[in-house]
Each structure stands twice: as structure tokens, then as C-alpha cells.
Amino acid sequence: MVRSISVLGATGSIGASTLDLIRRNRADWRVVALTANGDAAGLAKLAREFGAEVAVVADEAALPALRDGLSGTNIHAAAGASALVEAAARGADVTVAAIVGCAGLAPTMAAIEQGGVIALANKEALVSAGDVMTAAVAKHGATLLPVDSEHNAIFQCLAGNDIAHVHAITLTASGGPFRDWTLDQLERATPAEAVKHPNWSMGAKISVDSATMMNKGLEFIEAFHLFPVGVERLRIIVHPQSVVHSMVEYRDGSTLAQLGPSDMRVPIASALAWPARMHTPCAPLDLAAIGQLTFRAPDETRFPATCVARNAVIEGGAAPATMNAANEIAVAAFLDGQIGFTRIVQSVEAVLARALLPAPGCLDDVIAIDAEARVRARELMETAI
Ligand code: NDP
């Protein structure tokens, strides 16, 4: 049976991995919407290849280039934030939410309102919207499937089990490229060093988040919403090889883990084919060649981000959305050479320490919290903290 699919963030790393799987199973899929931010040429190429119905760039300045790239086709070209939401609201059997940052929230919510399967990579959207998003999923009968490798692993380990029997859920973390660096070395870490992840090939923002461990902090909050076992049952462990993608421990002492190669096509395939399985071109694990799997406790002195995130989710209300927005601004400032590496998480803490807006009750509230936190974070980027 042919299924329809939209890919929000088609020109990114997750977008490319998703479309690689679609390309290999072309007859099984009809492509509805593909979106990007400013990469009009890349998006036009993909829209042509996959015969998309609509291609949307968020950046309106990129629309002429997108139209040029699509000339001679009947693919509808559009631009801007509302066009992005309209594209997502066309609905598809599966929508892959792979925009980076809270920019993906409104289109993801629009897709959720159509029901269907949402394959969620865009963790920042769930971290910011939290209960607003999960309530919309329930209200509209959508199915939220995690694409993040850790959450996809947990989802697989929970299958066929009652979550009431879960003793603990453990998210694994590679520890990023600076895992073994001293605080002094971290002070001097450069953007080029931060985006060089040892195990995964990813977009720049999530690579920096992995280096600060804020990625694991965001994932902790993501897990809190996806798997309702409570903060005290959520754990993080550093596992440098990124072979065990996460684990679920049950009350009888059994721990189930999901293992796989460090290739996002595996969790994406799991979400696309769920509840069945599909073939991927990924080489199976060669555990004898890998030899050793090691684990250690996270060091929250050198990497305080996981502690900041845990406190934000415990505080609740506007804290997670504020944390996420402040982090997005700080990561962008670091990548621009404006602030040093260790100032990323320090500035997130400083933004969180100021008075917060009340808890969000709807999408507009989340967007307002996000906007206010960005203003405060940008002010901080200009001044010493
Ligand atoms: P990339 O930076 O590679 O791609 C981001 C995509 O979002 C691009 O298509 C980009 O368009 C688009 N985009 C960027 N800004 C905006 C905006 N303001 N409005 C609309 N679209 C925008 O990111 P990744 O693919 O690495 O990550 C995407 C999401 O998936 C993130 O939330 C990340 O945390 C999550 N994730 C990623 C993993 C990975 O392995 N990469 C693993 C697990 C989760 P353009 O190309 O035009 O800039």
C-alpha cells in the first residue's frame, strides 16, 4: 500500500537520511510536502526528484530561487512561516518532523492536528511545548513516534510491556567530542572542534548540543514527556561507543537494551515502518570487532547541562521552553564566534534564573515564552555574565 509522507526539514541531516530510505523504497511512498529554511536549490532538487506536491522555504527571500529551481514543474512553491504551517497541515500518513529548533514547533503542531504518524526528530519542539504537544497528540488521535535514537530505542524496549513495570529508563550518551577534556580545555574549545562528533554525522546545532551535553538534557525532557515514568526513574549514562542506544530496566531486574550502528537511518526506518520493519542499507553490528562496550557516570561538574535540564523539567512551567530558547541563541552565538564554549550553558542558566512567564496553556503561550527567552538571551550575549 502506498503511503504519503511529508518531510519538514528535508534538506538537513535527518531529512537526507529519511529521503535516502524513501529513495530505496520509492514505490511505497507518495511525497506531499518537503520544506527547508533557505536552501532553495537543495530543496528544489529534492522536490523534483521525489515529485513533491509542494516545496516550502521558511525564509521568504529564498522564494525566487525556489521558483527558479522548480520552473517547468507543477510543484507548488511557497515561502514563510505560515506557508510552512499550511504545508504541514496538508496532512500525510507520516510526517517526519526534522526542522532544527523551536522553529519546527508550529508546523509540527499543524501536522499533529491532522492525525497520522509524526516521526519526531525535532526534540526542541517537544521540550518547549511539553504537555501542549502531548495533549494535542491525544486530542487529534495522532501517533508520536520518536526518531531520536535513544527514544526510539526506549520505544522498542517498551514494546509489549506495561510501563507500570518499569523501574528505570537509562538514556545513553556518547559524551561528545570533549568527553575527556579538562575544564581548562573546554574554555578554549572552538566551533570547528565542537561540530566534529566522534560517532554521529549530524547538523551543527545538535553537534554543539552533544559537545555541551545539552543534547542529553533536551533528551531527558523529551523522555519525560514520551515515557511517563517520572523524573526520578530517568537516568543518563555515558557510553562512548554509541552502540547501546538506551535501556529499560523492569521491576524484576531484567534490563532490555536496543543496539545498532550509529546511523540515523536505523531509528528513522523503525519509525517509518512501524509496527512492521523495513530493510536498511546499514551494515549489521559486528560486536566482535567492536570488542568492548564501556559505561561511566556523567560528570556534571564539567558538563552541567544535564543538571540544568533536570532542574528545568522539575520546575516545569515555562522553564523548559526558556531553557531551549536560551540554548538555541547561545549555540548560534558560539558558532558565530561571539561567545566561548563554556558560556553556552552558563548563559542558559542565567536566562533561567530571571523571572519566568507562567506555564504555557497553548501553542501561542509557548511561542511567547520562546520569544521572550530569546530576547533575554540575546541581551546576555552582548554583555559579560
Ligand atoms: P540540520 O541542521 O542538518 O537540518 C535542519 C533542517 O531544518 C534543514 O532542512 C533546514 O533548512 C531546516 N531549518 C533550519 N532552520 C529553520 C527554520 N528557521 N525554519 C524552517 N526550517 C528550518 O539539522 P539535523 O537534521 O541534524 O537535526 C534536525 C532535528 O533532528 C533537530 O531537532 C535535531 O536535534 C534532531 N536530531 C538530529 C539527529 C541527527 O543525527 N542529525 C539525531 C537526533 C535528533 P536549510 O537546509 O535550508 O537550512
Q: What is the pLDDT of residues 279-337, one digit of tens each?
A: 999 999 999 999 999 999 999 999 999 999 999 999 999 999 999 999 999 999 999 99
- Look up residue 130 and give its amino acid: G
Which atom of ligand 1 lies at the shortest distance from residue 40's CA?
47
pLDDT per residue over 106-163, tens digit each?
Answer: 999 999 999 999 999 999 999 999 999 999 999 999 999 999 999 999 999 999 999 9
Q: Is 69 labelled a binding residue? A: no
Give the whole-number percent of the chain exceeding pLDDT 70: 99
pLDDT for position 149 = 98
Q: Whose CA is nearest to atom 4 of ligand 1?
A: 12
User: Of 206, 207, 213, 220, which is best to mutate to test ligand 1, by the most ligand atoms within 8 angstroms of its C-beta?
Assistant: 206
**Is 139 among the annotated ligand-binding positions?**
no
Query: 30 has which bridge partners?
Result: 4
pLDDT at 342: 98
Cell matching residue 368:
511567547
> Hunting for cell 566522534 — which residue is that?
198
Q: What is the mean pLDDT of residues 264-269?
A: 98
6 assigned ligand-binding residue? no
Q: Is 193 annotated as a binding residue?
A: no
Distance 56 CA to ligand 1 centre (A): 15
Does 188 have pLDDT greater than 70? yes
Domain positions in the chain: 3-146, 151-176+195-295
- CATH code, residues 3-146: 3.40.50.720
**14 has binding-site annotation:** yes
pLDDT of residue 354: 85
Tell me how many helices (H) and strands (E) the chain has.
Answer: 18, 11
CA dihedral 269, 272, 276, 277 (to 10 degrees): -10
Residue nearest to atom 27 of ligand 1 (CA): 100
Q: Between these two residues, 360 and 384, which has the higher pLDDT value?
A: 360
Q: How far is the CA of 64 from the centre of ligand 1 (A)?
A: 22
For 263, the 3-state DSSP assignment is coil
Statement: residue 176 has pLDDT above 80: yes
| 65 torsion bin: left (phi>0), alpha (psi -120 to 50), beta (else) | alpha
Q: Which helix or strand (DSSP H or E) is residue 266 part of? A: helix 265-273
Q: Ligand 1 mean position to 35 CA, how many Å?
A: 11
Name every protein residue with a CB atom under 6 angstroms from any ligand 1 atom: 9-15, 36-39, 58, 98-100, 103, 121-124, 148, 200, 202-203, 205-206, 264
282 secondary structure, DSSP code: P
Radius of gyration of the chain (CA): 20
Residue 168 in this model has a pLDDT that exceeds 60: yes
Q: By alpha-carbon position, which residue is closest to atom 26 of ligand 1?
A: 203
Report which of 208, 192, 177 is spatially closest to residue 330, judged by C-alpha positions: 208
Mutating to test ligand 1, I would choose from 7, 14, 105 the residue with most ligand atoms within 8 A of its C-beta, which is 14
Ligand 1 center–CA 9 separation, angstroms: 6
Of ligand 1's listed atoms, the one at least distance from the Cα of 125 is: 32
Residue 242 assigned ligand-binding role: no
Is 216 a known ligand-binding residue? yes
In this predicted structure, the answer to whether residue 360 has a pLDDT above a threshold of 60 is yes
Residue among 17, 100, 268 to mutate when testing ligand 1 (max atoms within 8 A of CB):
100
Report whether pLDDT(201) > 90.
Answer: no
**Residue to mutate (ligand 1; options 18, 56, 99; most atoms within 8 A of CB):** 99
241 CA → ligand 1 middle, Å? 24
Cα separation, 160 vs 17, in Å, equals 28
Question: Is the pTM of the predicted complex or chain greater than 0.95?
Answer: yes
> Relative to the CA of 15, which ligand 1 atom is closest?
25
pLDDT computed for residue 385 by the predictor: 54
Of ligand 1's atoms, which has the minimum distance to the CA of residue 204?
2
- In this structure, the dihedral spanned by the alpha carbons of residues 274, 280, 283 and 285, taken in order and rounded to 10 degrees, is 0
Q: pLDDT averaged over the chain? A: 97
pLDDT number for residue 384:
57
Between helix 343-353 and helix 204-212 the angle, nearest 10°, is 80
Q: Is 210 annotated as a binding residue?
A: yes
- Per-residue pLDDT reduced to its tens digit, 14-69: 999 999 999 999 999 999 999 999 999 999 999 999 999 999 999 999 999 999 99
